[in-house]
Structure 1
């Protein structure tokens, strides 16, 4: 059910949405928290809001440290086509995985919590580079017991995807259940969402609702009323898939962040088959792809780069010159990208002056097919833009 926030709290949330700087966001979120009534229906929202406030404050401190050049840096600049953050319990083997999968010069330690700063490395999948970040371990289910808790959650929130590393030699059910629950409490949901709901506030034009799919137990008028309750009179709500009114409210509040994810069960070399079966059962229930590996022996590690690429729902597009030369380095775009997206990625002038394109590859009916700007591309397509 929606949290049934009073008008004052909803008005305060609009200020959070409109805040631009970290300082403004912190001040606005503090006001919002003070305006939310404390009862059973708002428990999850309050838990998320207070943790988000803590993360914003840590981000502000990190920003100040970077500005003056003092102290260790926790923020990791994104490199490559996408960034995946590895989360897991202490001694789950994340650091050894990073060393085996990337170019990172790191040494695994048997001592728990030995990684206190994020460690990045570049992993290759065919002709694409993906950035893996070994995040400091979290004692899921034991509360915020480490100083880097909020910053590690922030790393996951800012990443393009999450790899949840589980130790197969320990209680798999406990590790997965506690991690998934705690991530959800922080607004991070693993796996694919049933619906994509986005909200864009506008300055005029009233409330426009675009539904490609259907609303569950709700109507467009219910959505419109919800926005008006938040004192939002102009905006665009886009719904793709099957969404409830809760999903729409979550889009307004921004307290749910679905992350492409993979569950990796490590230490296959010392674990029994029972642990692998439990891993599979839980992962399938969550709807998240999984892989059992041994970072020590190397079992199944070669399968992980492709799984990461596919979980991120990325495609590679190779541009072609009219002269016939095909670019060796691909453009990496989201699945569902169109010819127009390619034109924009090359240069805005190609999009503005677009005439047509020719396509070679999986999405073409025949080699060199002439298509328009709305043609949906597939991984491995070669595109020649004519403008």
Structure 2
């Protein structure tokens, strides 16, 4: 099977990964790929929707790199003690304990506060004499960042420093900067958990420290650090790109923007789901490892192989979605994979959806003349294959 070398066309892929997925799907649902120039051995990527859905919950695909044997020299740190890097029964235990506190009721209880934060940010935007600026700096970053920090109980976190760490973790500019960001964030979280253990509050992080189930089981200090890492990074980075990608899609499709403005009550929920399907923030899953040979769509992935599932590729599969390259906020829901599927389905999906709906609705209500900045220049695409979006979104309002 030929190898698809995405690293050789990195800038083109960053700008339009969907053209790559379309060509790959046309040739089959699974491919050997090279994502980064420093890869020694090609990995595998699944791009078909049905195949992706099965793979996301397949017991033969492990998330625990510590037992896969692929990284014998890798050093385990506390931030790795999270649900995303574990398999059952360890994953089952972690998710059960975290789910006791990360409840739909707690998330729903934040609705008024999310609206309040959004309104404050929109007030600041409206007060700008230049009537324009970078929407990511003004709204898409500070809204989910403030929400997740307040939820976890870390309101004094240096936002600029955290933004650098988070960007380097999910869209690294180099292997060295990625490693440094992981280490620095890990050091910060170790101290944060120590402080929270001494002086707990009513926040989610304090609740995770003290939570236990009927058998008395509780999270270890490393597991709390791992969960804090996962919630802080995943809890804001995906929502930043949900908001910014969603606004970009609306501005690029004025008829859809007009329809949404004409019926915000009836269309906002479906609009956010279509934003997630059409140009979701996460392009593909993190690593999975084949425990045994695995037949995917007639192609056998060998035991020991590294496997990625392309959520974005699957959500543009024409066998699942009619006219998948068309942005249609009235599209009937058909089960997109933007939040994953199965065991590792995103725990924070309800919060991300709430923030996306509030941010985009409030933005459109406040600024009826929202438009792209004609002097903005070409988009500044995020580097890397994991996330898709822009680092800046200059607009006028």
Shared topology, TM-score over 0.5? no
TM class, shorter-length: under 0.3
Larger Rg: 1
Instruction: Flag the structure with higher strand content.
Output: 1
The answer to which structure, 1 or 2, has the higher relative contact order (CA under 8 A, 6+ apart) is 2
TM-score between the two structures when normalised by the length of structure 2: 0.24
